[in-house]
Amino acid sequence: MSNYPSRTDIVTAMRNPHVSFKSTEIIGGSIIQKGSRIIQYSGGYTTVFPFHKQTGNKVAIRLWIADIGDAKKRSLEISNYLEKLNNSYFAGFKYIDDAVLVNGTLHPIVLMDWIDGQTLKEYINSNITNASKILDLAEKFKEMTAYFHRENIAHGDLQHGNILVKNDGTLVAIDYDSMFIEPLNGMTDTIKGLPGYQHPARHSNKCVNPRLDYFSELVIYLSLLIYADTPKLWDDYYETEDLLFSKDDFANPSNSKLISNHLKSTNTAISELTEKLVEELAATDINQLRPLEELLINKREAAKDNIFNKWDNQPNPAQKKQVVLPNKNDITNKF
């Protein structure tokens, strides 16, 4: 499909369900309005409508307004994959072909479960003075990304608008147009994400792959640690498209005041992770990036492990008496 409808054309179609709705999944249902205004949420490539099905269930209908590169194949594969995965980190997601008639042409939709919750920024804003809640959010985010890694999944566009915090505190990732799953291996990396979340090398990345999220994970997790530690920073960033760091910080980290300040943080977790951020920014290809769980390995613990590995693997003294290693207790006391 080469011709995509405008948002105005789509709204007109949604106002006329008896003419426009062609799929059994949405026939008899209705868009949600506030007064005479249709509620819709616009993204770069899509527009989303809250929708009441004939059964009364609230869902979301998503239509494309621009090409993301074989949207049908992507959406079908992701729909089938997530249905089989059946994991709470993802909303129900079903691709339906020829669902809505717009200007005489049938267009596909994605029908998604409606998730009640706050976006990442909304949740931070509601809890910015509660450090324990922000740290708990960071921990839950880390657990979510670790799950993605185990399943060889990348969301591809991790940012504040695509992560929802439900009322029970659990996380749900939404918007899967830039997702990597194994069936999509080799597909073009079309949607690059918000600059304040993405490594500078992302713009030159050709194909979706399991490492798409690695830098975004680091940015989000580190930002949450910083806000828990220094909540007064929040007022400067709530209204921006960044969570904390910007594309300018990433383009020139040596001149970034934000990065410089947190390299010197008295909070060791923050200073060490900011150092890791600088290390990751030296990469020229996102395939060189490391996952969050690897970046979180503490330097001191890694040093201990390295020394103890040498200890455990030392040659048999009876064979090589010249090898002498210090007492383990003495080593531990140095750290």
Least confident residue range of 22-31, 193-202, 302-311: 302-311
Encoded tokens for 53 = 């099905």
CATH class (in words) of the domain with range 117-295: mainly alpha
Residue tagged 């054309």 (tokens): 9
pLDDT digits (tens, 9 = 90+) for 14-28: 999 999 999 999 999
Is residue 133 over pLDDT 80?
Answer: yes
Q: Which residue type is seen at 220? A: I
pTM for this one? Answer: 0.85
Q: Where are the chain's structural domains?
A: 38-113, 117-295, 299-333
Average pLDDT over residues 62-78: 86
Give me the pLDDT at residue 298, please: 73
pLDDT digits (tens, 9 = 90+) for 246-273: 999 999 999 999 999 999 999 999 999 9
Give the phi and the psi of residue 148 in degrees, each rounded to 5. -55, -45
pLDDT digits (tens, 9 = 90+) for 209-231: 999 999 999 999 999 999 999 99
Instruction: Compute, in degrees rounded to 10, the torsion defined by CA atoms 143, 146, 148, 152.
Output: -170
Average pLDDT over residues 272-287: 98
CB 82 within 8 A of CB 155: no
Which helix (H) or strand (E) segment is 119 a member of? strand 117-119
Work out the mean pLDDT of the chain and round it to a whole number.
Answer: 89
Is residue 318 over pLDDT 70?
Answer: no
Average pLDDT over residues 294-299: 84
Is residue 334 over pLDDT 50?
Answer: no
Is residue 314 over pLDDT 60?
Answer: no
CB 54 within 8 A of CB 69: no
CATH class (in words) of the domain with range 38-113: alpha beta
Give me the pLDDT at residue 319, please: 43
Give me the pLDDT at residue 2, please: 52
